[in-house]
Amino acid sequence: MSFALRSRPGVVIFDARTAAPESLSALKRLKADSYTAVVPCAFMSDDGADAMAAGFDAGADEVITKSTPDESVVPRLDAMIRRSERDLSVHPSTRLAGAAAIELEIGKRLGTGEAFAVCYADLDHFKEFNDRYSYNHGDRVIRILAKLLHDVVKGLCGERGFIGHIGGDDFIFIIPYNMIPEVCGEIIATFDILAPYQYSEQDRKAGYFFGKDRRGHLDRVPLMTLSIGVVTNLKRNLTSAALVSQLATEMKTYAKSLPGSVYTVDRRNDDRITPPEQRPVIGATLLTESQ
Q: Using an 8 Å Cβ cutoff, are 168 and 143 in contact? A: no
Same domain flag for 256 and 126: yes
Write down the pLDDT at residue 281: 37
Same domain flag for 83 and 104: no
Over the stretch 14-42, which tens digit does the pLDDT of each residue have? 998 887 888 899 999 999 887 788 899 99
Chain centroid to CA 253: how far? 19
Burial of 73: CB neighbours in 10 Å, binned 0-12, 13-18, 19+: middle
> What is the rounded distance in angstroms from the CA atom of residue 66 to the CA atom of residue 217?
69
Alpha carbon separation from 130 to 134, 142, 213, 217, 275 (Å, rounded): 5, 11, 12, 16, 38
Cα 291–Cα 196–Cα 262 angle in degrees, nearest 5: 25
Q: Average pLDDT in the 234-255 region?
A: 93
What CATH code is carried by the domain that includes residue 240? 3.30.70.270
Place 223 in a pLDDT band, splitting at 50, 70 and 90.
Answer: very high
Q: Which has the minimum average pLDDT: 26-40, 41-55, 76-90?
A: 76-90
Same domain flag for 193 and 215: yes
Q: Average pLDDT in the 236-247 region?
A: 92
Place 92 in a pLDDT band, splitting at 50, 70 and 90.
Answer: low
Same domain flag for 205 and 242: yes
Q: Average pLDDT in the 263-281 region?
A: 62
Same domain flag for 153 and 126: yes
Domain boundary among 36, 58, 87: 87
Q: Average pLDDT in the 182-195 region?
A: 97
pTM value? Answer: 0.70
Total number of domains in the chain: 2
Q: Which of 155, 152, 163, 158 minimizes the C-alpha distance to 185?
A: 152
Please report whether residue 256 resides in a domain.
yes
Q: Which domain holds residue 56?
A: 2-87
> What is the rounded distance in angstroms from the CA atom of residue 59 to the CA atom of residue 42?
9
Over the stretch 256-271, which tens digit does the pLDDT of each residue have? 999 999 999 998 876 6
Residue 209 has pLDDT above 90, yes or no: yes
Write down the pLDDT at residue 91: 65
> What is the rounded distance in angstroms from the CA atom of residue 32 to the CA atom of residue 220?
46
Q: Using an 8 Å Cβ cutoff, are 163 and 35 in contact? A: yes
Please report whether residue 117 resides in a domain.
yes
Q: Using an 8 Å Cβ cutoff, are 24 and 16 in contact? A: yes
Q: Using an 8 Å Cβ cutoff, are 138 and 130 in contact? A: yes
Average pLDDT, the chain: 87
> What is the rounded distance in angstroms from the CA atom of residue 124 to the CA atom of residue 214?
13
Write down the pLDDT at residue 235: 85
What CATH code is carried by the domain that includes residue 19? 3.40.50.2300
Over the stretch 139-149, which tens digit does the pLDDT of each residue have? 999 999 999 99
Q: Which has the minimum average pLDDT: 63-77, 89-103, 267-281?
A: 267-281
Domain boundary among 33, 65, 87: 87
Please report whether residue 94 resides in a domain.
no
